[in-house]
């Protein structure tokens, strides 16, 4: 089915190009030779010449065949059903959710205490892992004092490396749900309770922190970022 759909798409662009080429060539002939030279001197109108054009007939035939095949595909696709085991939602109840929150952090001394405490106060959170990316302030000390398990990196190896390290460390816990969040307080810990139920039907749930400020004038998001994050 995928190969057939690809062929339909490619053939559409081929036919579209041929139609455009036919129109352009005729416009060039008209602009250079004029309608009289192009047909009327031979007692034929411009429409007559178009109607007897072999190239034009082949284009019409190709367009008609493409439309018929596309309609057949659309009708067949309407009743097309994928493998339920791979493409439909399945329900797996999480009777005892145990959440490990991963927090990559770098120089977040002013806000890290609130972030750690907020997540630790949420239901079913068994551990908060703070991956300190070699901060130069007291981020690691404050996080540890608030009850988080802190992994201190000997050098700054970047955000992505902190995420990977956090996931690896979280596998050592008995958590059955892993949460990756930010250390700057832009995510709301209370959203955990909203997102966890969706994991009974999916392997991953993704949330955005942008939704309430997308259309505000002066936000830091570019136009396409705003469109990409928009949800109703």
pLDDT single digits (tens) 4-48: 778 888 888 888 888 888 788 777 776 766 555 555 445 555 555
Q: What is the pLDDT of residue 41?
A: 47
Q: What is the DSSP letter of 175?
A: -
pLDDT of 198 > 60? The answer is yes
**Selection from 35, 59, 55 nearest residue 47 by Cα:** 35
Bigger pLDDT: 77 or 153? 153
Q: How far is 44 from 8, CA to CA, in rounded Å?
A: 37
Region 68-86: what's the mean pLDDT?
70
User: Token pair for residue 28?
Assistant: 């060039």
- What contacts 54, CB < 8 A, 6 or more positions away? none
User: DSSP H helical segments within the chain, as ranges?
Assistant: 2-38, 46-51, 54-78, 84-87, 112-120, 139-145, 159-170, 192-195, 223-229
Neighbours of 156 (CB within 10 A): 15
Q: What is the mean pLDDT of residues 158-165?
A: 95
Confidence of residue 231 (pLDDT cuts 50, 70, 90): very low
Q: Out of 6-15, 112-121, 126-135, pick the least confident.
A: 6-15
Task: Spell out the residues 6+ positions from residue 70 whose beta carbon is closer than 8 angstroms to its own.
Answer: 8, 12
* Mean pLDDT within 169-179: 95
- Give the model's pLDDT for residue 102: 97
Mapped onto helix, strand or coil, the DSSP state of residue 231 is coil
- CA-based angle 103:108:110, to the nearest 5? 125
Closest among 225, 126, 141 to 179, alpha carbons compared: 126
How many other C-beta atoms lie within 10 A of the C-beta of residue 210?
17
Pick 124 or 35 by higher pLDDT.
124
- Nearest Cα to 112, choosing from 135, 81, 79? 135
Binned at pLDDT 50, 70 and 90, residue 118 comes out as very high
Note the pLDDT tens digit of each residue in 208-230. 776 555 556 665 566 655 555 55
Partners of residue 105 on adjacent β-strands: 132
pLDDT > 80? residue 61: yes
Answer whether 137's CB lies under 8 Å from 111's CB: no
For the chain, the average pLDDT equals 81
Interstrand relation of 125-132 and 99-105 (parallel, antiparallel or unpaired): parallel
Q: What is the DSSP letter of 192?
A: H
């Amino acid at each position: 089915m995928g190969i057939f759909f690809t062929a339909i798409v490619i053939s559409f662009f081929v036919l579209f190009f041929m139609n455009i080429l036919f129109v352009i060539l005729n416009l060039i002939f008209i602009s250079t030779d004029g309608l009289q030279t192009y047909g009327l001197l031979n007692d034929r109108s411009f429409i007559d010449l178009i109607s007897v054009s072999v190239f034009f007939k082949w284009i019409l035939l190709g367009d008609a065949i493409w439309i018929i095949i596309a309609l057949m595909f659309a009708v067949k696709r309407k009743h097309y059903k994928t493998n339920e085991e791979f493409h439909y939602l399945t329900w797996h109840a999480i009777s005892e959710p145990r959440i490990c929150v991963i927090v990559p952090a770098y120089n977040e001394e002013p806000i890290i205490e609130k972030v750690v405490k907020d997540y630790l106060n949420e239901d079913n959170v068994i551990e908060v892992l703070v991956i300190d990316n070699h901060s130069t302030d007291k981020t690691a000390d404050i996080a540890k004092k608030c009850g988080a398990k802190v992994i201190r990196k000997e050098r700054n190896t970047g955000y992505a490396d902190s995420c990977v390290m956090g996931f690896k460390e979280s596998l050592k816990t008995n958590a059955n749900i892993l949460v990756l969040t930010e250390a700057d307080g832009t995510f709301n810990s209370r959203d955990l309770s909203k997102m966890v139920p969706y994991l009974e039907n999916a392997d991953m749930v993704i949330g955005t922190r942008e939704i309430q400020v997308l259309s505000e004038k002066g936000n830091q998001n570019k136009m396409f970022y705003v469109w990409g994050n928009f949800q109703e």
